[in-house]
């Protein structure tokens, strides 16, 4: 199979983890007889530096023409004081919007050998298999107005949370379709005790549930959901929620797996290429030191193989190579506590590649 992949390494540890993910893609190509052609483009801070634009037109057109997009991360202190339109994060938000990537899948599971090392009790995390379905192109991130304003002579600011019926319907429907091939349970997370947008969300979720009578739908308020994720994460099968709640809950849920450096994601539209990226950011505190965990980026490659190319065996091989690499006992710095030894970003990938080759 021949596929064109656009690489958007971005900033901070983005290029470090993307480099490792590409090594894994190359190994998959070699072992399974595929051809992956890469084209690199700038996004985020590096694109601001080079083109004064966090999402240059050239980047967007390369992405549109490709079969899938692999993204590292964007952002960093260098650009934190920039005006809103010249922030790295704006590039990421715009590409999600331009490609209509309304559905962000963030699977949460735990690798075998990390169960005993979890900061949460073993019995609570063993067997966890949760799919967070985060709405990605609406809500507070995109609502207008979003600006500074005068409030009764005082400095103020406004952001706006809007959702249309069609935006809610498509993400809820996506969650039901996923639940159908999973454990047939959806928990829809909202703040319907306060927010009008959440009341509409809940109403539409109930309507769509009637089309799927064999799937159980439960509603949960977001503050309770934040607590329940730690108390009893196995009650969740598919968790569907709006943009900002999904952002926050998925970083929280990463600690069920053991580290933010482990969780992958796929951002999908109804047609056209998706973006595959770790859920973590550019981690300026560890950038350039070889300390980044590459496994979230590598697992994002597994999601690409499965969702973009339908290569399920290849995706399973990557996930099993990660599992076996961790079984050897090696850990990156984010997975150790105290004075325990750890390996570098590249050394972790080396061991994943060995296990990929030996399957």
| Residues recognised as catalytic | 141, 191, 223, 247, 251
> Measured from the CB atom, is 114 or 249 closer to Mn ion?
249
Instruction: Round to whole Å and give the CA distance between 68 and 273.
Output: 5
282 binds ligand NAD per the rule CB under 6 A: yes
284 binds ligand NAD per the rule CB under 6 A: yes
Query: Dihedral of the CA atoms 170, 171, 173, 179 (nearest 10)?
Result: 160
308 assigned ligand-binding residue:
no
296 binds ligand NAD per the rule CB under 6 A: yes
Instruction: Round to whole Å and give the CA distance between 46 and 73.
Output: 11
In sign, the C-alpha dihedral spanning 283, 288, 289, 292 is positive
- From residue 263 to residue 292, the character string flagging contacts with ligand IPM as x (rule: CB under 6 A) and all else as - is ----------------x-x-----------
- From residue 65 to residue 104, the character string flagging contacts with ligand NAD as x (rule: CB under 6 A) and all else as - is --------xxxx------------x--x------------
Backbone angles phi and psi of 241, in degrees to 5: -160, 170
> C-beta of 339: minimal distance to ligand IPM in Å?
31
Instruction: Round to whole Å and give the CA distance between 307 and 326.
Output: 24
35 HSE (CA, 13 A, CB side) = 3
Two tokens, residue 129: 């298999």
> Measured from the CB atom, is 82 or 228 closer to ligand NAD?
82
Instruction: Round to whole Å and give the CA distance between 24 and 180.
Output: 31
Phi-psi region of 33 (alpha: psi -120 to 50; beta: other; left: phi over 0): left
Residue nearest to ligand IPM (CB): 89
217 assigned ligand-binding residue:
no
**Strand stretches in 177-274, DSSP E:** 185-190, 216-221, 238-241, 264-268
Size of the site for ligand NAD (CB under 6 A): 22
170 assigned ligand-binding residue:
no
Tell me how many degrees the CA angle 110-108-295 measures, rounded to the nearest 5.
70
242 binds ligand IPM per the rule CB under 6 A: no
What is the distance in angstroms between the CA of the first residue and the CA of the last residue of the chain?
Answer: 20
247 binds ligand IPM per the rule CB under 6 A: yes
98 binds ligand IPM per the rule CB under 6 A: no
Among 24, 63, 283, 321, binds ligand NAD (CB under 6 A): 283
Among 135, 247, 277, 334, binds Mn ion (CB under 5 A): 247
Binding region for ligand IPM (CB under 6 A) out of 51-59, 86-94, 167-175, 234-242: 86-94
Binding region for Mn ion (CB under 5 A) out of 71-79, 104-112, 244-252, 302-310: 244-252
Please report how the helices 295-303 and 14-32 are oriented relative to each other, as an axis angle in degrees rounded to 10.
50
Residues that bind ligand NAD (CB under 6 A): 13, 17, 73-76, 89, 92, 260-261, 277, 280-286, 292-293, 296, 334
- The annotated binding site is made up of 76-89, 96, 106, 134, 223, 247, 251, 281-293
Residues that bind ligand IPM (CB under 6 A): 75, 89, 92-93, 247, 279, 281
């Amino acid at each position: 199979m021949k596929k064109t992949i656009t690489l958007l390494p971005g900033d901070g540890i983005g290029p470090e983890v993307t480099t490792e993910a590409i090594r894994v893609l190359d190994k998959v190509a070699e072992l399974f007889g595929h051809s992956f052609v890469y084209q690199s483009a700038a996004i985020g801070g590096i694109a601001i530096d080079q083109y004064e634009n966090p999402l240059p037109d050239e980047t967007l057109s390369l992405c549109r023409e490709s079969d899938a997009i692999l993204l590292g991360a964007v952002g960093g202190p260098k650009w934190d004081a920039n005006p809103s339109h010249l922030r790295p994060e704006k590039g990421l938000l715009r590409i999600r919007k331009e490609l209509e990537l309304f559905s962000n899948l963030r699977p949460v599971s735990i690798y075998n050998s990390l169960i005993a090392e979890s900061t949460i009790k073993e019995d609570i995390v063993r067997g966890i298999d949760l799919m967070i379905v985060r709405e990605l192109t609406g809500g507070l991130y995109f609502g207008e107005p979003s600006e500074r304003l005068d409030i009764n002579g005082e400095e103020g600011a406004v952001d706006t949370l809007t959702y249309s019926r069609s935006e809610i319907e498509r993400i809820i429907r996506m969650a039901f379709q996923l639940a159908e091939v999973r454990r047939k349970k959806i928990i829809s997370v909202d703040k319907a005790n306060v927010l009008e947008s959440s009341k509409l969300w809940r109403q539409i979720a109930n309507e769509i549930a009637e089309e799927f009578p064999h799937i159980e739908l439960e509603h949960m308020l977001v503050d309770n959901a934040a607590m329940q994720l730690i108390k009893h994460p196995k009650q969740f099968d598919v968790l569907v929620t709006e943009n900002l709640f999904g952002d926050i809950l998925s970083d929280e849920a990463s600690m069920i797996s053991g580290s933010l450096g482990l969780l992958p994601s796929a951002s999908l539209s109804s047609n056209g290429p998706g973006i595959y990226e770790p859920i973590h950011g550019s981690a300026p505190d560890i950038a350039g030191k070889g300390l980044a965990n590459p496994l979230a980026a590598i697992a994002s490659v597994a999601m690409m193989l499965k969702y973009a190319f339908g290569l399920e065996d290849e995706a399973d091989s990557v996930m099993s190579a990660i599992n076996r690499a961790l079984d050897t006992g090696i850990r990156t710095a984010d997975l150790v506590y105290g004075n325990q030894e750890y390996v570098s970003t590249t050394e972790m990938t080396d061991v994943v590649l060995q296990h990929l080759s030996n399957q």
